[in-house]
């Protein structure tokens, strides 16, 4: 198979399009998630990846203890936190 410069001129823009449409937005999303996880503190309301709403009772290294209804406490990995929620949103859940 012979290498042709025209083939390269076709594939380079395609690779650039894929990068800007898929990889760059995902990288920005991950940076925003890391920033949110870093700013969590005791008392914040969060939503886990499994759909459970809870209040942060303690943070130790990579483990977050969430407090649920009736004082039930469950330990989660930080990576299991999907997002922080507003008080209004948590009241509706």
pLDDT tens for 15-60 read 999 888 988 899 999 999 999 999 999 999 999 999 999 999 999 9
Which residue in 92, 86, 61, 57 sits closest to 73, CA to CA?
Answer: 57
Tell me, yes or no, if the pTM score tops 0.85: no
Flag whether pLDDT at 77 surpasses 90.
yes
How far, in Å, CA of 35 to CA of 72, rounded?
Answer: 27
Is the same domain home to 66 and 34? no
* Domain of 50, in residue numbers: 41-93
Structural domain count, the chain: 2
In terms of domains, do 33 and 49 share one? no
Q: What CATH number does residue 57 fall under? A: 2.30.30.140
Query: How far, in whole angstroms, is CA 70 from its chain's centroid?
Result: 28
């Amino acid at each position: 198979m012979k290498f042709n410069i025209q083939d390269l001129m076709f594939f380079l823009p395609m690779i650039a399009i894929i990068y800007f449409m898929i990889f760059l937005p995902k990288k920005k999303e991950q940076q925003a998630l890391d920033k949110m996880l870093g700013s969590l503190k005791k008392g914040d309301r969060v939503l886990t990846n499994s759909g459970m709403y809870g209040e942060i009772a303690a943070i130790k290294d990579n483990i977050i203890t969430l407090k649920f209804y009736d004082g039930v406490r469950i330990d989660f990995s930080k990576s299991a936190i999907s997002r922080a929620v507003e008080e209004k949103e948590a009241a509706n859940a």
